[in-house]
């Protein structure tokens, strides 16, 4: 029969105690690994959510930039349209002034009978605006022909109210011209 020596007995005792502690340590290590894996997954989820949030913010910023650019384009378009409108109005005004000057030049170069005959021919083919301008120009230059101008205009089929307004405007222009304005 063999007897165990005291050092062998101590070694067996330590082994018996260490075995359960070793199993606990392995379980703890396994739990720690699982916790680290879970923490890594949670960190990746948080990082992914942050990336999604940053992407949403970038998209919102891009949408805002596009909206601002579209607004700027719309403003430029409106400003361009306003400029075109102002230019068209200026051209129309210049055309009217040119027609008025041409009418005055023509009026100054002809006698009364010739002026009335040319007025009759012009009124026969004129629209209301042109007829108004011609009647007003003749009366402003030669107010003494107002009755003859009225007869010719009505004879050409021009609206009576238009003729009356044009005559009145012509007299107003004649008075302003006489006053030096």
- Token pair of 100 as six digits: 């008025």
Among candidate residues 145, 95, 151, the one with its CA nearest the CA of residue 123: 151
Burial of 42 (0-12, 13-18, 19+ CB in 10 A): exposed
pLDDT tens sequence across 106-165: 666 778 888 898 889 989 988 999 999 999 999 988 899 999 999 999 999 999 999 999
Structure token digits, residue 28: 């703890």
Provide the H-helix boundaries in 142-181.
146-155, 160-178
pLDDT at 112: 86
Mean of the per-residue pLDDT values for the chain?
80
Query: Which pTM was predicted?
Result: 0.41
The domain segmentation of the chain, as residue ranges, is 51-98, 110-178
**How would residue 178 be classed by pLDDT, with cut points 50, 70 and 90?**
low
| pLDDT at residue 13 greater than cutoff 70 | no
Residue with tokens 């700027």: 72
């Amino acid at each position: 029969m063999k007897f165990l020596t005291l050092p062998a007995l101590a070694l067996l005792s330590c082994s018996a105690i260490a075995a359960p502690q070793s199993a606990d340590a392995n379980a703890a290590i396994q739990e720690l690994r699982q916790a680290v894996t879970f923490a890594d997954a949670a960190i990746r989820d948080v990082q992914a959510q942050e990336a999604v949030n940053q992407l949403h913010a970038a998209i919102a910023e891009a949408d805002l930039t596009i909206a601002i650019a579209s607004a700027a384009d719309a403003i430029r378009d409106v400003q361009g349209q306003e400029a075109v409108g102002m230019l068209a109005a200026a051209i129309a005004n210049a055309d009217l002034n040119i027609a008025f000057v041409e009418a005055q030049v023509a009026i100054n170069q002809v006698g009364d009978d010739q002026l009335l005959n040319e007025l009759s021919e012009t009124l026969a083919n004129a629209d209301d605006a042109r007829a108004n301008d011609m009647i007003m120009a003749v009366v402003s230059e030669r107010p003494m022909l107002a009755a003859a101008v009225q007869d010719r205009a009505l004879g050409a089929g021009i609206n009576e109210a238009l003729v009356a307004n044009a005559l009145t405007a012509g007299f107003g222009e004649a008075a302003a011209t006489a006053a030096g304005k």
